[in-house]
């Protein structure tokens, strides 16, 4: 589960934004797989249906015990004209 997300409140189009998130295993057991990908998209709606930019997948390797997690930080260019 994405347990936290970090982003600036305002990022002008055509500039770079520093984003970050934390994924935490909130289940009762160790994850059943130790290999998955986090997808990063920019959408114009809260549901994420209208994708403006798809920044791709970021791979995670390693099982997560209950309560364990990991942090990711990325720099992404916000498209011009937004």
Sheet holding 69-77, edge to edge: 2-6, 16-24, 69-77
Q: List CB contacts of 72: < 8 A, sequence separation 6 or more.
A: 20, 21, 22, 23, 38, 58
**What's residue 82's pLDDT?**
81
Q: Do the bridges between strand 16-24 and strand 2-6 make them parallel or antiparallel, or are there none, so unpaired?
A: antiparallel
Q: What pLDDT score does 72 carry? A: 97
Q: Which of these, 5, 42, 40, lies nearest to 22 by C-alpha position?
A: 5
The pLDDT profile of the chain, 82 residues, written as one tens digit per residue, is: 999 999 999 999 999 999 999 999 999 999 999 999 999 999 999 999 999 999 999 999 999 999 999 999 999 999 998 8
């Amino acid at each position: 589960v994405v347990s936290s997300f970090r982003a600036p409140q305002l990022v002008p189009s055509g500039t770079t934004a520093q984003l970050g998130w934390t994924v935490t295993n909130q289940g009762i057991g160790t994850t059943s797989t130790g290999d998955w990908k986090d997808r990063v998209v920019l959408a114009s709606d809260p549901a994420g249906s209208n994708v403006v930019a798809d920044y791709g997948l970021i791979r995670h390797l390693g099982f997560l015990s209950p309560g364990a997690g990991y942090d990711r930080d990325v720099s992404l260019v916000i498209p011009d004209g937004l």
